[in-house]
């Protein structure tokens, strides 16, 4: 076993992954009970419904994980928080791409990662609306629906299809629009898919050549970031350091260097 694949807590990464996959399927089934459409006059109730489903998904995930591993920690988008006494902490986005979910657009997903003091150990991104299950174990490669995947590399900036996302802050969006305006004449094209975890996984499969976004939280990045890295991509911040809320840049090594220059 690769040294980087070891978990200092003694937890078996394959068992952690199997648990996360099983729980992600349960949560995806719960979320898939969304009505096929909302009448325009029901939009406010639809927002409430999406919010309720987000919380219900997190509740289900936390209950299932702690039933199996009661000493683990939890970090959840919807507020679930628990200190770990086992050395393993789960990082959960119970409904990534909530706006897509609200409008019944594809790509919303369940994102579950587990980390130890060395970083993320396993990652699962389950996107049932596009029949996609991405998984990775640290040091063990990345997979989509059980098949190994690799990012695109090398590719030049002018031939690259790039994904991004936009902040909910109007002020931040102004700066993002300026960056896009500067970048778009020099790339193949730009996509905004609406779910950060899937964007990172699309880099892992080569469906996107690169991806950048500001304002990501740990739960947006944990699972998808590991999957992208295990598929050969670099996932960093604006200047090549650790990715974080200020910026995440993901791409194969050759393109990543160009994006650092353009975005950094």
Domains of the chain plus CATH, in order, are: 3-148 (3.30.540.10), 157-263 (3.40.190.80)
Question: Residue 34's pLDDT is what?
Answer: 81
Task: Tell me the average pLDDT across 197-216.
Answer: 97
**Residue pointed to by tokens 């194969």:** 252
Q: 36 falls in which pLDDT band (50, 70, 90)?
A: low
Question: Residue 38's pLDDT is what?
Answer: 58
Q: Is 90:105 a contact under the CB 8 Å cutoff?
A: no
| Spatial distance between the Cα atoms of 199 and 143, rounded to a whole number of angstroms | 15
- Reduced to 3 states, what is the DSSP secondary structure of residue 194? coil
pTM score above 0.75: yes
| Spatial distance between the Cα atoms of 104 and 85, rounded to a whole number of angstroms | 39
Q: Which token pair is 135?
A: 């998984």
Question: Residue 43's pLDDT is what?
Answer: 47
Least confident of 5-9, 17-21, 208-212, 229-233: 5-9
Q: Is the pLDDT of residue 85 over 60?
A: yes
More confident residue, 210 or 3: 210
Q: 45 falls in which pLDDT band (50, 70, 90)?
A: low
Question: Residue 57's pLDDT is what?
Answer: 96
Number of helices (H), then strands (E), in the chain: 7, 13
Please tell me the total number of residues recorded for the chain in this structure.
Answer: 264
Q: Is the pLDDT of residue 42 over 60?
A: no
Percent pLDDT > 90 in the chain is 78
More confident residue, 199 or 103: 199
- Residues in CB range of 53: below 8 A, 6 or more apart: 30, 31, 34, 95, 101
pLDDT digits (tens, 9 = 90+) for 121-175: 999 999 999 999 999 999 999 999 999 999 999 999 999 999 999 988 888 889 8
Q: 106 falls in which pLDDT band (50, 70, 90)?
A: very high
**Residue pointed to by tokens 């790339």:** 187
Task: Tell me the average pLDDT across 199-224.
Answer: 97
- Reduced to 3 states, what is the DSSP secondary structure of residue 15? helix
pLDDT digits (tens, 9 = 90+) for 56-74: 999 999 999 999 999 999 9
Q: Is 149:204 a contact under the CB 8 Å cutoff?
A: yes
| Spatial distance between the Cα atoms of 1 and 155, rounded to a whole number of angstroms | 31
Task: Tell me the average pLDDT across 31-53.
Answer: 69
């Amino acid at each position: 076993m690769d040294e980087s694949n070891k978990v200092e807590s003694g937890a078996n990464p394959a068992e952690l992954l199997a648990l996360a996959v099983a729980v992600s399927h349960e949560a995806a089934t719960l979320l898939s009970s969304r009505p096929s459409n909302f009448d325009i006059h029901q939009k406010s109730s639809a927002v409430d419904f999406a919010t309720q489903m987000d919380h219900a998904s997190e509740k289900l995930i936390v209950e299932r994980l702690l039933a199996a591993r009661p000493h683990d920690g939890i970090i959840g988008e919807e507020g679930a928080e628990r200190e770990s006494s086992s050395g393993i902490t789960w990082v959960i986005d119970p409904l990534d791409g909530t706006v897509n979910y609200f409008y019944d657009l594809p790509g919303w997903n369940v994102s579950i990662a587990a980390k130890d003091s060395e970083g993320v150990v396993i990652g699962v991104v389950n996107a049932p609306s596009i029949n996609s299950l991405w998984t990775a174990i640290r040091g063990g490669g990345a997979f989509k629906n059980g098949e190994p995947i690799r990012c695109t590399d090398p590719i030049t900036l002018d031939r690259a299809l790039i994904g991004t996302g936009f902040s909910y802050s109007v002020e931040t969006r102004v700066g993002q629009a300026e960056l896009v305006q500067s970048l778009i004449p020099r790339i193949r094209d730009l996509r905004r898919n609406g779910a950060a975890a899937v964007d990172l996984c699309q880099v892992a499969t080569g469906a996107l050549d690169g991806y950048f976004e500001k304002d990501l939280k740990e739960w947006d990045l944990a699972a998808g970031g590991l999957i992208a890295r295990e598929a050969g991509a670099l996932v960093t911040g604006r200047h090549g350091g650790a990715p974080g809320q200020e910026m995440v840049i993901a791409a194969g090594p050759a393109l990543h260097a160009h994006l650092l220059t353009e975005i950094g």
